[in-house]
Structure 1
Amino acid sequence: MIFEGATFGILGGLVAFPRRLAVRDVTRRGGIVRRGLTRQTTHVLFGRKLLDKSDAEIEALYASAQASGAELLSEAGFRRRLGALKKEQGASLSRQSLLDQARLDPRAFDLLSLFDAFEHSAEPYSFRDLILARKYAALLNAGTGWAAIARSVQLAGKVSSLTAVSLHSQGDDTIYRRDGDDLSKIDGQKFLALEDEEADADLAFELAEAAEASGEFARAASLYSQYLSMEPGDSVAAFNRANALRKAGDVEEATHAYALAIKLDPKFVEAWFNLGSLWKDRGRADLARRHLARAIEIDPDYADPIYNLAALEFESGALGEARALWARYVAIDPDSAWGKLAARGIFLIDITMAAEGKIA
């Protein structure tokens, strides 16, 4: 099973089932569920409520998730992994065969799949998936965006029902179905709604993210606190709150918030790194060193704590340790501006140690 030792990052609110059920089922199988995308994320679950965001925001999240190397899952795809949904009989088409026969853009296909616009979210695909792919290709060729298709499909109830109707667009963001000579909006039974308490939690998290993105850091921290009162075990929310507090200038409370994120998830490497950096800013080199070293221990290829720990060692006069760490950083990130600074640091250490007769 994929769940043992896996970390699932949820992007957006879930529609087909409550988030707490995802947390319960993954945790029971030995995995972890977080909101958002971190370095430890192995699987990214795209919630359909992401469709409430702009196309650009969704595509930016998609690009980040792709770049992370994590496996991307739709809500239905996740439920199939849990065993809650079964594949339909007769599904035998490969992804490439479906794309070739439908002449559907691969990127649009992948994005539509992540929002369950097909009967299946992964191979093998069914003949009904091929019919849907052809319909979507025609809409895309007519100038309709993939997100407009995905949003309209959410109104259709069971997506396979769309195979029996003719779909059209009239140059706007709405997909229509033809009934005789008339066009009407797709309007079917919506998917299972979340309970009010969970919807409130999702809203609080989304508002907090929006406030943080717009630079309203004190307000974001307050909203993350509201969310944590409903979801006290969410390490990502604690981490985000810490970042907002730090940017708002409340370093004391930010320190506690980072510590909470680590307590909730001891392997949350970004929290270890950010807290180490905060301790460095607060003049506590001993605590900074301890937290940065722990971040490196958790994720040996995480370049940022390696560089910062090297700088700490250099400032303290531990030149040999600083040189080894900067050399390690250069091996990971040789061509960036930070890589060049690390190489410069190594050069200065070599000159200093040579002048002191410590190296030949």
Structure 2
Amino acid sequence: MAVAGKTFGIVGALSVFPRRLIAREVERQGGNLRRGVTRQTTHVVFGRRLLTNAAEAEIEARFEREICHGRRVLSENGFLRALGLATGPETSALTRQSLIEQSALAPRLFDLLSLFDAFEHDSEPYSFRDLILARKYAGLIASGAGWGAIARSVHRSGHVASLTALSLHHEGMDTIYARLAEGLSELDGQMLLGLDLPGDAELEELFVEAEAAEETGDYDAAAAFYQRYLAIDPTDSVTAFNRANCLRAAGRDAEAVHEYVRALKLDPSFAEAWFNLGGLIGEEGHVGSARRHLKKAIELDADFADAIFNLAKLEFDAGNLLEARSLWERYLELDKDSEWARMAERGMQFVNLHLLSKTAG
């Protein structure tokens, strides 16, 4: 897979390689790497550490959401192989459908286990060893184990292919065991390529704490966590953007403007940052600047419906009715069913009636 021109987002933290080294390699190959997911993201990498920080249902929902948005999802191993930092095992001719049929493993569970590298291969073609693993996992799930417990446990043994020779069992939902002559044993072993550099673990922890605080509405605390992150790594545009959103939600608008500008200096193609900065500036009455920022967001992402709607409203309020109508028409090409669509339709009707009355008069 060619990396140039693609934008990768990481959900969760990587367990097998330091993010900063990955970022340099992606940049060297002409791609972009961002923390989290933005509108420009084309590929989403699911880090294995997500398994320790999120419930299975949350991960499943996130997986479904990224698929629905047309983004390609990658496992850690799949990401490394795409970058040429790891080689795949010897390939075979087995398809995804063949493994599902022969193992009786549910398709969605198969995809989730693949996403967290529970097989030799992260995508087609799969090997015969992958089929053996699929059958073992199907048996564990049939006996009550969760897919997340399997994904968390299998990497403790080293290379997952070594599990094909073991008898796997579970007790409860959380841990998978191997039955040895001495009895049940956890699948303990060193994680592969444990190369975290000083500061990486702290950055991941700060980002997780910031997101958690933001989700609960403690925006001042979230902004403080994001600021601590930026003190260690001042080059992360998504962290600056997230901090700006928190500052804005906390009513600290001047600081929010500064952080949006920082995010855009780090990544001038950050459409959401142009959009949010334009909205904030517009609220402060700077119509010309808001218009320029919204237009820039649309220039970067022609299907950015929210930016198109807001620009239409701005033009309407400024008395530029024909421009507002044209923008609302474009918005309705992207969204026909929401309440915002109803507002766009009413706005167009008002413009048409206004212009008709002027013509009649």
Output the TM-score relative to the length of structure 1: 0.97
- Aligned with 1:154: secondary structure? helix
Question: Using a 3 Å threshold, how does the CA distance of structure 1 residues 287 and 98 change in structure 2: closer, same or farther?
Answer: same
1:36-185 to 2 correspondence within 5 Å? 36-53=36-53, 54-180=55-181, 182-185=183-186
Q: Which structure 2 residues correspond to residues 209-224 of structure 1 after superposition, within 5 A?
A: 209-224=211-226
Contact 2:129–2:164 under 8 Å retained in 1: yes
Query: Cα deviations across residues 2-41 of structure 1 (Å, max 9, x unaligned)?
Result: 2111000011111111101110111001000001111100
1:268-288 superposed Cα distances (whole Å, 9 cap, x missing partner): 111111111111111111111
Q: CA deviation at 1:90?
A: 4.8
Whichever residue aligns with residue 348 of structure 2, its letter is I
Distance 1:60 1:132 in 2: 25
Q: Secondary structure at the match of 2:193?
A: coil
Moved over 3 A (4+): none
Give the length in aligned residue pairs. Answer: 359
Find the residue that maps to 1:178 and give its secondary structure. Answer: strand
Identity of aligned residues (%): 54
TM-score under structure 2 length normalisation: 0.96
Q: 1:75 to 1:336 in 2, by over 3 A?
A: same
Q: Which amino acid aligns with 1:274?
A: N
Q: Which amino acid aligns with 1:69?
A: G
User: What is the Cα deviation at residue 84 of structure 1?
Assistant: 2.4
- Whether 1:324 aligns to 2:326 is yes
Specify every segment of 5 or more residues in structure 1 that has no aligned partner in the other structure, as ranges.
none
The one-letter code matched in structure 1 to 2:200 is E
What root-mean-square deviation, in Å, do the aligned CA atoms of Structure 1 and Structure 2 show? Answer: 1.4
In the alignment, what sits opposite 2:349? Answer: 347
Do the aligned partners of 1:37 and 1:65 also contact (CA within 8 Å) in 2? no
Q: How does 1:250-329 map to 2 (within 5 A)?
A: 250-329=252-331
Alpha-carbon distance between aligned partners in 1 of 2:80 and 2:2, rounded to the nearest angstrom: 13
Amino acid at match of 1:85: A
What is the one-letter code of the residue matched to 1:246? R
**Cα distance between partner residues in 1 of 2:352 and 2:91:** 68
Cα deviations by residue, 1:226-247 (Å, 9 ceiling, x for unpaired)? 1111221111101100000000
- SS of 1:37's equivalent in the other structure is coil
Aligned 8 A contact 2:3 2:26 in 1: yes
CA distance in 2 between counterparts of 1:333 and 1:350 reads: 20
Give unmatched runs, 5+ long, in structure 2: none
Deviation of 1:60 (Å): 2.6
Determine the C-alpha separation between the residues in 2 that align with 1:270 and 1:248.
Answer: 19
